[in-house]
């Protein structure tokens, strides 16, 4: 009987550790997609009484934060676009980036040669 109690305590301890791992993994995931993949993996374990459904509110909160970040980026770029209106999208930032790379490379070549 004592062995059965020890096993039960170990199982409960293991389940608590898995629950903590799942919650910390969801909170530290870099995107909602990764958090949902992690939750899906824990669902596939099929552990009876495992609180997988308790994680979904945290995933939805992270999803709403992702949406707010996209809205902020859109609002900033709407007020001050990277490329002037009416010009082709490639004409602006891509050319400036290309020009910066050419200048850096030419300076390095100049330093090597002289």
Question: Which distant-in-sequence residues (6+ apart) come within 8 Å of 84 by Cβ?
Answer: 92
For residue 77, the SS3 value is helix
Claim to verify: residue 21 and residue 55 sit in the same structural domain: yes
Claim to verify: residue 33 and residue 73 sit in the same structural domain: yes
Claim to verify: residue 76 and residue 110 sit in the same structural domain: no
Claim to verify: residue 75 and residue 91 sit in the same structural domain: no
Claim to verify: residue 10 and residue 48 sit in the same structural domain: yes
Digits of tens for pLDDT over the chain (114 positions)?
Answer: 344 445 556 777 888 888 888 888 888 888 888 888 888 888 888 877 778 888 888 888 888 888 888 888 888 877 776 666 666 665 555 666 667 777 777 777 666 655
Claim to verify: residue 48 and residue 16 sit in the same structural domain: yes
Question: Which distant-in-sequence residues (6+ apart) come within 8 Å of 50 by Cβ?
Answer: 15, 18, 19, 42
Alpha-carbon Rg for the chain, nearest whole angstrom, is 26
Tally of domains within the chain: 2
What pLDDT is attached to residue 63?
85
Claim to verify: residue 48 and residue 76 sit in the same structural domain: yes
Domain residues for the domain of 65 are: 2-80
Question: For the whole model, what pTM was predicted?
Answer: 0.53
């Amino acid at each position: 009987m004592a062995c059965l109690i020890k096993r039960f305590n170990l199982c409960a301890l293991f389940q608590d550790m898995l629950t903590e791992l799942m919650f910390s993994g969801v909170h530290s995931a870099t995107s909602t997609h990764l958090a949902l993949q992690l939750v899906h993996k824990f669902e596939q374990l099929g552990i009876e009484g495992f609180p997988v459904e308790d994680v979904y509110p945290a995933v939805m909160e992270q999803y709403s934060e992702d949406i707010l970040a996209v809205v902020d980026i859109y609002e900033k770029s709407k007020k001050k676009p990277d490329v002037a209106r009416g010009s082709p999208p490639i004409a602006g930032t891509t050319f400036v980036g290309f020009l910066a790379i050419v200048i850096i490379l030419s300076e390095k070549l100049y330093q090597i040669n002289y």
